[in-house]
Amino acid sequence: MMKITLILFLTITLISQGYSALASVSDAEIKSLSEMLYKLDHNRATTSELVIDPQTLISSSETGSRDDASSRPLFKQVSSTLLSKPTYKALLNLLDNYRRVTGEVEDVPSQEVQEQDTFLQQTMNTDVGRELYNFLHSKGIYSSQSEFIQDLKMMWFGLYSRSSGKLDSSGFEHIFAGEIKGGKVSGFHNWLQLYLNEKQGLLNYYSHSFNGPWTTYPDVLGMQFEWDGYFKEVGSAFIGSSPEFDLAIYSLCYITRPGKKCYVSLGGQTLGIQTYTWDNSSYGDGKKYIASAYPTTP
């Protein structure tokens, strides 16, 4: 009876998102697939390509103190070879497309639409992207890769309003690029964006309150930082992961556990991924845009 109830619950959840196929995805399958995505992330940074300096570890009770407890930048070295890989280049081309303050309408000219398409296609050209699609296809959620890519495009890049009724935000902007809302940093869960802004002198790394158990990349940090005058109390992100890995893990959890905590397994270590749905507007046949996704930290 418990198994039948779980299947019905997962089916209803998928239908509520617009995924009407009868597709039961178990917790064990999510962990198994995430382990495979972890192993297939051939474009992750090596310890010679990426060197970081986390410095001061603070307690969770200190995250709101706004004290700059680290005198040096977080990033010591990032290899240009790493940044020249196709999915990295495609992501970097997207990150400067956004107005970070909510309430300001996002214009999306044809060049930026092409950059979105390029990023998604490049991710699907990787083993990580193909593995995710093959799994979801086997579950009947998508009938073709083109359908999958189009849904990712709407899910991640479709615009909605976080402020004043203006089309000022998207899941991609919130998660990968970061936003300013209510006088503080909102979203901003991508290490490449952290690196770019720190390199440009726009981001001041303060400390970290969580450092994952991984000794190679990807790792996870929960960080405190100031972004051009705005504070982030706890910003969690994968560190050293490839762009396709971030997109795949967040998409896997959003599609199978929308608006919930999703447990993945990376190198034998369990990690929670929290996703949120955007409930104020939808696309297609009632599917919901992604509002946020990030690694959870204690």
Q: What is the structure's pLDDT at 22?
A: 36
Q: What is the rounded CA–CA span in Å between residue 10 and residue 225?
A: 38
pLDDT given for residue 100 in this prediction: 85
Please give the pLDDT value at position 24: 87
What does the DSSP 8-state code read for residue 148? H
CB 106 within 8 Å of CB 159: yes
pTM: 0.92
- pLDDT of res. 23: 52
Residue 202 CA to residue 241 CA, distance in Å, equals 22
Tens-digit pLDDT profile for residues 96-112: 988 888 888 888 889 99
- 85, 139, 174, 208: the catalytic one is 174
Give 202-225 pLDDT, tens digit per residue.
999 999 999 999 999 999 999 999
Question: CB–CB of 11/21 below 8 Å?
Answer: no
Query: How many Å apart are CA 172 and CA 187, to the nearest integer?
Result: 10
By C-alpha distance, which of 238, 233, 207 is closest to 221? 238
Residue 267 pLDDT grade (very low, low, confident, very high; cuts 50, 70, 90): very high
The mean pLDDT value of the chain amounts to 92
Catalytic residue from among 139, 181, 208, 232: 232
pLDDT level of residue 83 (50, 70, 90 thresholds): very high
Residue 265 tokens, joined = 């397994």
Where does the chain have alpha helices with state H? 2-16, 27-40, 80-83, 86-94, 110-124, 127-138, 145-157, 171-172, 191-199, 243-256
Rounded CA-CA distance 240/215 in Å is 11
98: nearest Cα among 183, 164, 162? 162
- Classified as helix, coil or strand, 225 is strand
- Provide the H-helix boundaries in 73-231: 80-83, 86-94, 110-124, 127-138, 145-157, 171-172, 191-199
CA-CA-CA-CA torsion for 234, 185, 293, 247, nearest 10 degrees?
-110
The 10s digit of each residue's pLDDT in 127-185 is 999 999 999 999 999 999 999 999 999 999 999 999 888 898 899 999 999 999 999 99
Tell me the per-residue pLDDT of 86-95, one tens digit each, with 9 for 90 and over.
999 999 999 9
Q: Catalytic pick from 85, 139, 181, 189? A: 189
Both structure tokens of 160: 């909605």
Judged on CB neighbours under 10 Å (0-12, 13-18, 19+), 109 is exposed
**Amino acid identity, residue 129?**
G
Which of 255, 296, 275, 291 shows the shortest CA–CA distance to 25?
Answer: 255
Q: In the annotation, is 232 catalytic?
A: yes
DSSP H or E run through 12 = helix 2-16
What spatial distance separates the first Cα and last Cα of the chain, rounded to whole Å? 34
Is the Cβ–Cβ distance between 144 and 269 less than 8 Å?
no
Q: Tell the burial category of 24 from Cβ atoms under 10 Å away from its Cβ (0-12, 13-18, 19+).
A: middle
Task: Give the separation between CA 280 and CA 284, rounded to whole angstroms.
Answer: 14
The pLDDT score that the predictor gives to residue 99 is 85
